Chains A and B, each alone.
Chain A
Amino acid sequence: MLSSAAPALALQGVTKQFGSFSALRGVDLTIAPGEFVCFLGPSGCGKTTLLRIIAGLEQPSAGRLWQRGREITRLPPAQRDYGIVFQSYALFPNLSVADNVAYGLVNRRVPRAQARARVAELLALVGLPDSQAKYPAQLSGGQQQRIALARALATSPGLLLLDEPLSALDAIVRVHLRSEIKALQRQLGVTTIMVTHDQEEALAMADRIVVMDQGAIAQVGTPLQVYREPATPFVADFVGRVNVLQARASVAGHIEVAGLSLACPAAADAAPGTPLTLYLRPEDVLVQGSGQANLVQARIEAVEFLGAFCLVDVSLPALGGQRLQVQLSMNVLAERGLGVGAPLALQLLPERMRVFAGATSGATSGASDGASDGAAGAAPSLPLAAAA
């Protein structure tokens, strides 16, 4: 009945209108069986709406969905094949943990002994084997979330939907649970979609990340692709830290920043004189790297200690005093005895530079933190070339 080549989930032109507000604008997406996909974006980008449409809790205004080749666009939730975990867990407070986990099994007339064995198996799987008789109110938030996960997995659904499952938990539990969920997902091989606004979570867990911006997909790619080769200024800005500099295309493969010429293979196709915005991650700046290209003099203004490495604020006199945020290892700083006020020579790695057409508004120069909700490029900028 099901062709083996059918994707676990296919979305075509999914659109959602709330009155005059477009929550989703024509989303196309294909998810392969066994994939772990994260919908990542700031609040209001439409990622939760998209998840609810996949779950059948909302109806798309236009567009269609297929699950393993079967169209599900208008099917009610009960006729789709998925398990879901909500941010609020939604555990039934009057039922014991065992009854919560067995909730979907009982309805399928699974024999009692078999259901009990399944519950024990699942509770062992999520690491809470002794919690059967407890009520949800007796468990911690992280424990409740594990139970909600066990309940969602009990009926062996073909698709697991996670709606910001970790955002209500404290950081240590969150980091711990995210690796557990990922391991569990790999072990079971269940196709999983997780909605999150936490880029670190998405980078750590996903096979593929779907970055969303204002109701549309900004980029789909592996965590490495999304991080290294952001398709839009928004992605570059939202995922990870990035330095944003105003530039202008000059002779082939070069750009000019505040009068200084820098090698930039990504700008090879830009016509000379085109205004550009340059995106450079803090770790893509080296202290006197091996190459000779793109060396600039800098002065350390501030050092933020982050453990194994530091985020160093430097000013670049050659670029009219513009600032850059640079990530340097503790060892490098210690070896060279660098501190605030010290001069140093930096290499801006040419092959890591990303440029987008157009200038960004105002003084966005400097590092921007990926966690902020602010969109970077206001103008519709297109990548001029993909980095190698």
Chain B
Amino acid sequence: MSGAVLAPATRADTAAAPAARVDGAAAVALLGLALALTGLLVFLAGPLLAIALQAVQDAQGRFVGLANFVAYARTPALLGSLFNSLWVAALVTALSLPVAFGFAYAVQRCRVPCKPLLRAITLLPLLAPSLLAAISLIYWFGNQGVLKGAMQALGITQIYGAPGIVLAECFAVLPHALMILVTALGSADARLYEAAQAMGTSAWRRFVTITLPGARYGLISAALVSFTLVITDFGIPKVIGGNFGVLATDVFQLVIGQQDFQKGAVVALLLLAPAVLTFVVDRRVAARQTAQLSARAVPYRPQPKPWRDGLATGYCVLVAAGVLAIVGMAVFASLATFWPYQLAPTLKHYTMGLVDAEVGEAFVNSLSLAAGTAVLGTVMVFVTAYLLEKTARPAATQPWPERALRGAVRLLVMLPMAVPGLVLGLGTIFFFNAPGNPLGGLYHTMALLIACTITHFTTTGHLTAVTALKALDAEFEAVSASLKVPFWVTFWRVTLPICLPALIDIARYFFISAMTTISAVVFLYTPETKVAAIAILNLDEAGETGAAAAMAVLITAASSLAMLAFMALAAVAHKKTQAWRQH
């Protein structure tokens, strides 16, 4: 062995390595993560703990152990709701995932004309409060519905209950699954396909061996998102569910109707189970996921293929038509004088809602809530995802506080997906209204509404950001470090420009979710901060279905305008930052 040891004599005897030094860049990353953790603890963990506390206390605040859980298990109606929630969520996931994947595939991998228009139409469900789908289905299939006969010919006696929930949820879940799948199918390496083609691989085998594995992470994410969205949604089952009980409506009924906070808290805790599942599966899949878009990858551009492109276009048009049928019916109903007897167009539902029910002021509140959520939420979600994904040293070399910090942020950022807005809102009240909480001053402010809304919608934004970030070469940061460039410069010059389309998607998602959300804010608003979607819920409860439809359409229109603005922004951004993809 000729490798002579040559070490400075002064310290040659120390065998133990000194503790790892944290450099400036790593310190900044850790500080950012610590901030993210603080926010998540205050606006997510705190409220959830407040709920958990409720679940083990009686109405007077005494500790009663598992008594509330036992009482819950002895209520057959509530157990039935648990079963209903599970099978409905599974069925909606099984139905909507193939539909969404087909659409994402057609848009990203085939030559479909008018892609932006088709994508915009499928995103329409995001623009409307979920009430709209339920109201629209009632006009289509309800007691006085247009297609009631056709539905009954198929053996479904009435739309109220499971059939209505499943159909409306498919509509509501579609854009969420699409956001993830379109991103997942967007980054493909053309060389893989060319290699396969050169080997004489059939189109079907190319699909099964390249496309599906490449989109695997997106597919699993989309399935998890769909399942948990359905389980935690309460707007749709409330309007069209009839007597068909599900977990989310149980919470609403127990808390609002019966003022039984304790049993409501028990049901809320049951809803956290999917979050645990989501987290475990996400960690497992993420561990196997490797970057698909290396620096060497040649971006995939579909070649024209008439029969395939025609089929894809037809499919996209069919999906878009289904979406338009739901939205269109709501628009039509909002303009009809007296459904179904007097269909002459009128604006009386609109004036009734805006003027008589004072929805106008609520609109302004909705806009400030949406703007605040979009700007702050996007920055926070993307920076957090970046710090988690791209600044981590190998796990084995992290000191335990860093590992704990990263683990905690990763867990908490996935949690909101399974926390119904209703539960989060309720917990937020418990937490911020608790005597002695120094943050109590936030109670009843727009700031708290914004924080709660960002928290509520964090997970989908996070998953989109992670999917985009995972598609980047893992060695960018290592190269930057070797060039003495701190990570935030690479973040600004490389990561951010490449991920800008995903970033705009996230901002749009936050803005529009905030415009249409009901559940997250239903407990938190005051007369001064009441938002438009809540005003609609009040109209629907008052039996003013026409006015409710009119206001829902108005929100949809406002969201659509915002959407167009975001699309214009995306077009500009694409021109400026994605030139390298064109070659």
Tell me, yes or no, whether A114 is within 8 Å of chain B by CB.
Answer: no
Residues A136 and B296 in contact in the complex (CB < 8 Å), given A73-B18, A90-B473, A107-B484: yes
B17-A64 in contact (CB<8A): yes
Measured as residues with beta carbon below 8 angstroms from the partner, the interface class of chain B is 35 or more
Q: Which residue of B lies closest to A218 (CB)?
A: B1
Q: Of residues 103 to 126 in A, which have CB atoms within 8 Å of B's CB atoms?
A: 103-104, 107-108
Q: Which residue of A lies closest to B2 (CB)?
A: A220
B21-A77 in contact (CB<8A): no
Q: Which residue of B lies closest to A7 (CB)?
A: B6
Residues A78 and B25 in contact in the complex (CB < 8 Å), given A62-B17, A91-B295: yes
A84-B482 in contact (CB<8A): yes
A10-B397 in contact (CB<8A): no
B17-A73 in contact (CB<8A): yes
Tell me, yes or no, whether A364 is within 8 Å of chain B by CB.
Answer: no
Distance in Å: Cβ of A2 to nearest Cβ of chain B: 12
Cα distance A60–B581 in the bound complex, in angstroms: 39
Distance in Å: Cβ of A48 to nearest Cβ of chain B: 12
Cα distance A74–B399 in the bound complex, in angstroms: 13
Tell me, yes or no, whether A284 is within 8 Å of chain B by CB.
Answer: no
Q: Which residue of B lies closest to A216 (CB)?
A: B1
B476-A90 in contact (CB<8A): yes
Q: Of residues 32 to 47 in B, which have CB atoms within 8 Å of A's CB atoms?
A: none
B295-A88 in contact (CB<8A): yes
B298-A86 in contact (CB<8A): no
A77-B482 in contact (CB<8A): yes
Q: Which of B8, B18, B478, B498 contacts A57 (CB 8 A)?
A: B478
Interface of B is mostly: loop
Encode contact with B along A29-56: 1 for CB under 8 Å, 0 otherwise. Answer: 1100000000000000000000000011
Residues A104 and B483 in contact in the complex (CB < 8 Å), given A28-B3, A217-B3: yes
B18-A74 in contact (CB<8A): yes
B482-A63 in contact (CB<8A): no
Interface segment out of the listed A92-100, A182-190, A343-351: A92-100
Residues of A within 8 A of B581 (CB): 137
Q: Which residue of A lies closest to B494 (CB)?
A: A92
Cα distance A240–B16 in the bound complex, in angstroms: 39
Distance in Å: Cβ of B10 to nearest Cβ of chain A: 10
Q: Which of B7, B14, B479, B481 contacts A56 (CB 8 A)?
A: B481
Interface segment out of the listed B446-454, B485-493, B504-512: B485-493
B16-A141 in contact (CB<8A): no
Cα distance A151–B25 in the bound complex, in angstroms: 21
Residues A64 and B1 in contact in the complex (CB < 8 Å), given A94-B494, A151-B483: no
Cα distance A58–B393 in the bound complex, in angstroms: 8
A59-B397 in contact (CB<8A): yes
Tell me, yes or no, whether A221 is within 8 Å of chain B by CB.
Answer: yes
Q: Which of B5, B299, B476 contacts A12 (CB 8 A)?
A: B5
A90-B479 in contact (CB<8A): yes
Distance in Å: Cβ of B352 to nearest Cβ of chain A: 52
Q: Which of B476, B483, B498 contacts A83 (CB 8 A)?
A: B483
Cα distance A18–B4 in the bound complex, in angstroms: 26
Distance in Å: Cβ of B574 to nearest Cβ of chain A: 12
Q: Which residue of A lies closest to B479 (CB)?
A: A90
A to B CB contacts below 8 Å, 11 in the list: A10-B7, A64-B7, A71-B8, A93-B293, A94-B579, A103-B485, A104-B485, A136-B580, A137-B580, A219-B2, A220-B2
